[in-house]
Amino acid sequence: MSSALAHVAWEPCFVEARQDRELETHARRRMGLPNPAVRYFAPAPWVARAAVDINPSFGLLIHLDLHTADLVGLVVSQENACRFCFAAVRAVLWFQGMDRERVLRVEQEIARPDLPAMVRATLDYARAQSRSGPTGAHGAWAALRGAGVSAGEAREIAYTVAVSDFSNRLHTALAIPPLPFERTPESLLMRLLRPLLGRVTGARRSRGSPVAAAMDLPERPYGRLIGAFGDSPIAPVLAHALDEMWASSHLSPRCKLLMFAVVSRGLPCEVCELEISRALQREGLDAAAVARLLTHLDGPELEPVERLLMSYARETLWYQPAVLQRHTRMLRDQLSPEQLIEAVGVAALANGICRMAAVVMDEPA
């Protein structure tokens, strides 16, 4: 089954896989199958956990059906030319019993202009959020709501796009090998095991149910975003992923905030930039310094690693896979393995979250 992305240039993976039984067991329990990518993220465990835990297909969606969520993942991965994620979604569809021709038809159908209005609006919004950022996506958001998609469902669509944007950057930047997934339908072993694997993954994929909404929103960036998800199970999962990211010590909180700020400025997402600027001021940078650093991506206040990663963060905004992989490979020579994985994870998370934050926070609960 040839892939629509088979032509996309993809470097050999330049990070080492590191065995971590705890992380691998966590991924297997949550997803039903071993996740081959987790070992590459092991140096920064929060990245590995986030890659598994925030996946919307495993008990996080209340309103959006899982098939539409898969289509959104397919569209966004195609948009971002992420061979790994595109192949992974195709493999999931195939495990679920779709034959290869049907998977190809699904791929062709997502580009058809005569789709039902709601599906069309969903996929248009997915592309807009991913390719144009929040400012460019406002029109598509209005069309999505105008097509009859409820507020809860629209937020879950935005979240699904955000997770795909995160996942696409994470796997693309580190050039995680896509071949195991791309060759899945051709492998005799996989074909024999397919009914079993389909049952195992199918059992783990489930709709979510409401949870108790957090009463006190935390005084940290994106507290409002988490609050916007109300009683959705997305709220605690997202809060936990963000908490783990801020708490990890391979990069300083100020460095991570600066990376988020660059992504917010570059998209642009004014509402995100405001929240991040306030957090940076709490870290000791005054408003004028923050404004200057974001205008020039440089300044005497910056530590060398901050200067390096502010520059890297902007490379993750709009990218060609090969160019992003080249920049990440150059970063590898200047950072420890732990810092590298954390830096890629922060940049990927910033891109996912900032892209959805503006529309989700603007929408009345």
Partner 1 sequence: MRTAIAVALVLALLAAVWAWLRERHGALRLQRQLDAASEELQRLQQACARLAPAGVVDRLVADHVDELTAMPAQRKVVTALFADLVGYTAMSERLDAAVLARVLNGYFQRMSDAIHEHRGHVSTFLGDGILAYFGALQPNPWQSADAVRAALAMRAAMADYNRELAREGLPTLNVGIGIHNGSGLVGLIGSRERMEYGFVGRTVNLAARVQALTRTHGVDILVTDAVRSELDATFRLDAMPAERVKGIAEPVVSYAVRERITTPDASPTQVSH
How far CA 356 is from CA of 12, 97, 134, in Å, comes to 31, 32, 6
- For partner 1, which is the closer residue by CB, 139 or 210? 139
Based on the shown chain and the rule CB under 8 A, indicate whether residue 246 belongs to the binding site for partner 1.
no
- For partner 1, which is the closer residue by CB, 135 or 150? 135
Q: How far is the CB of 2 from partner 1 (least distance, A)?
A: 5
Binding residue (CB under 8 A) for partner 1 from 67, 112, 183, 199: 112
- For partner 1, which is the closer residue by CB, 7 or 29? 7
- For partner 1, which is the closer residue by CB, 234 or 269? 269
Q: Are 276 and 293 in contact (CB under 8 A)?
A: no
Q: How far is the CB of 265 from partner 1 (least distance, A)?
A: 6
Report how far residue 56's alpha carbon sits from residue 222's, in angstroms, rounded to the nearest whole number: 19
Q: How far is the CB of 30 from partner 1 (least distance, A)?
A: 32
Within 137-166, the residues that bind partner 1 by CB under 8 A are: none
Q: Is 1 exposed, middle or buried (0-12, 13-18, 19+ CB in 10 A)?
A: middle
- For partner 1, which is the closer residue by CB, 57 or 164? 164
Q: b/e map of 135-165 (b: 16 or more CB within 10 Å)?
A: eebbebbebbbebebeebbbbbbbbbbbbbb
Within 267-326, the residues that bind partner 1 by CB under 8 A are: 267-268, 292, 295-300, 314, 317-318, 320
Based on the shown chain and the rule CB under 8 A, indicate whether residue 104 belongs to the binding site for partner 1.
yes
- For partner 1, which is the closer residue by CB, 156 or 165? 165
Based on the shown chain and the rule CB under 8 A, indicate whether residue 19 belongs to the binding site for partner 1.
no
Based on the shown chain and the rule CB under 8 A, indicate whether residue 78 belongs to the binding site for partner 1.
yes
Based on the shown chain and the rule CB under 8 A, indicate whether residue 101 belongs to the binding site for partner 1.
yes
Report how far residue 251's alpha carbon sits from residue 309's, in angstroms, rounded to the nearest whole number: 10
Based on the shown chain and the rule CB under 8 A, indicate whether residue 116 belongs to the binding site for partner 1.
no
How far CA 33 is from CA of 198, 202, 206, 262, 360, in Å, comes to 10, 11, 15, 36, 32
Q: How far is the CB of 112 from partner 1 (least distance, A)?
A: 7
At position 225, the amino acid (one-letter code) is L
Binding residue (CB under 8 A) for partner 1 from 56, 133, 185, 208: 133
**Spatial CA neighbour of 170 closest among 101, 77, 286, 71:** 77
Using CB under 8 A, which of the segments 97-105, 146-154, 175-183, 201-209 binds partner 1? 97-105
What contacts 333, CB < 8 A, 6 or more positions away? none
Based on the shown chain and the rule CB under 8 A, indicate whether residue 76 belongs to the binding site for partner 1.
no
- For partner 1, which is the closer residue by CB, 112 or 199? 112
Based on the shown chain and the rule CB under 8 A, indicate whether residue 135 belongs to the binding site for partner 1.
yes
- CB-based contacts of 316-323 (< 8 A; 24+ apart in sequence): 316/169, 316/173, 316/263, 316/347, 316/348, 316/350, 316/351, 317/263, 317/266, 317/267, 317/351, 319/172, 320/81, 321/8, 321/9, 321/10, 321/81, 321/82, 321/83, 321/172, 322/9, 322/10, 322/11
Q: Are 149 and 122 in contact (CB under 8 A)?
A: yes
Based on the shown chain and the rule CB under 8 A, indicate whether residue 4 belongs to the binding site for partner 1.
yes
Q: How far is the CB of 127 from partner 1 (least distance, A)?
A: 7
- For partner 1, which is the closer residue by CB, 22 or 109? 109
- For partner 1, which is the closer residue by CB, 46 or 86? 86
Binding residues for partner 1 (CB under 8 A)? 1-2, 4, 7, 78-79, 100-101, 104, 111-113, 127, 131, 133, 135-136, 265-268, 292, 295-300, 314, 317-318, 320
